[in-house]
Amino acid sequence: MARSGLARVQAVLLARGWPKIAWSLSLVALWVASVAGAEVWVTNQADHTLSILEVARGTVVTTIPSGGRGPHNVTFTPDGREAWVAHVDSDTVSVIDTASHRVVAMIPGGRRSHAVTFTPDGTLAYLANPGSHDLWLIDVATRTVQGRLPVGKGPQLVVFSPDGRYGFVSLSGEEEVWMFDTRAAWHSATSETASTPVVARFLAGKDVMGLALSSDGRYLYVTAGGENRVVVIDTVARAEVASILTDLDAHGLAITPDGAYVYVANRGANTLSVIATAQHAVVATLPTGASPDLVAVSPDGHWLAVTNRQDNTVSLFDLKTTRMAAVVPVGREPHGVAFHPRPRDRE
Report the CATH number that the domain containing residue 94 is assigned in CATH. 2.130.10.10
Q: 69 with 122, same domain?
A: yes
pLDDT at 109 over 70: yes
d(CA 151, CA 323): 40
Q: 235 with 295, same domain?
A: yes
d(CA 15, CA 104): 54
- What is the model's pLDDT at position 185? 85
Q: 48 with 6, same domain?
A: no
- Tell me: the pLDDT tens digits for 136-163? 999 999 999 999 999 999 999 999 999 9
Tell me which residue range forms the domain holding 17: 1-36
- What is the model's pLDDT at position 12? 57
Q: 174 with 136, same domain?
A: yes
CA–CA distances in Å: residue 123 to residues 105, 154, 237, 345 = 17, 25, 29, 24
Q: 277 with 294, same domain?
A: yes
**What is the count of structural domains for the chain?**
2
Buried b (16+ CB within 10 A) or exposed e, 98-124: beebebeeebebbebbbbbbbbeeeeb
Q: 192 with 50, same domain?
A: yes
- CA-nearest of 169, 168, 165 to 182 is 165
Q: 275 with 219, same domain?
A: yes
Q: 27 with 80, same domain?
A: no
- Tell me: the pLDDT tens digits for 8-64? 655 555 566 665 454 444 444 444 444 456 899 999 999 999 999 999 899 999 999
CA–CA distances in Å: residue 311 to residues 234, 286, 289, 291 = 37, 17, 7, 8
Residue 332 · residue 45 · CB < 8 Å? yes
DSSP symbols for 212-271: EE-TTS-EEEEEEGGGTEEEEEETTTTEEEEEEE-SSSEEEEEE-TTSSEEEEEETTTTE
pTM of the complete model beyond 0.85: yes
* The amino acid at 27: L
Q: 30 with 44, same domain?
A: no
Q: 239 with 90, same domain?
A: yes
Q: 308 with 204, same domain?
A: yes
Q: 199 with 180, same domain?
A: yes
